Amino acid sequence: MLLDGRRVKSCLLLAVTLDGREVRTVEGLSTAGDLSPLQAAFIAHDAFQCGYCTPGQLCSAQGMLAEVAGGWPSAVTADLTAPVELTDAEIRERMSGNLCRCAAYPNIVAAVREAAASG
């Protein structure tokens, strides 16, 4: 989920500690009933297969794209002074905290890459 725009692991948070904070789940990624570009890319690339990890993957990807837009480097960012180039290695590193038991990782990377290019 996204907490005040940053990705967090909801299982590690107590709901009572979030009073007054902005909590956004996968359901909040779409607007006016339309899928977000990220959600549409996940469908186009079959990046959800069984669907078990999809909400976490989508929320994490949304937060990750915001981090990239903000210029935040990752552990694999080659040049810390240049704008972040969203390579496959960057996407994999930034999404590494989310596990997919269907192994849809190549599809997830492709979907995130497409959403980044469109947004």
Residues 6+ apart with CB under 8 A from 25: 1, 2, 55, 59
Other beta carbons less than 10 A from residue 43's beta carbon: 11
Q: Could you give the CA distance from residue 86 to residue 91 in angstroms, rounded to a whole number?
A: 6
Q: Which amino acid is residue 96, in one-letter code?
A: S
CATH of the domain at 10: 1.10.150.120
What is the chain's mean pLDDT, rounded? 93
Per-residue pLDDT at 38 exceeds 90: yes
Q: Over range 4-23, report the average pLDDT.
A: 94
Q: What is the pLDDT of residues 44-58, one digit of tens each?
A: 999 988 889 999 999
Does the pTM surpass 0.85? The reply is yes
Parent domain of 17: 2-118
Q: What is the pLDDT of residues 81-100, one digit of tens each?
A: 999 999 999 999 999 988 88
Q: For residue 109, what are the CA distances in angstroms to 20, 53, 71?
A: 33, 14, 19
Q: Which amino acid is residue 79, in one-letter code?
A: D
- As for how many domains the chain has, the answer is 1
Per-residue pLDDT at 119 exceeds 80: no
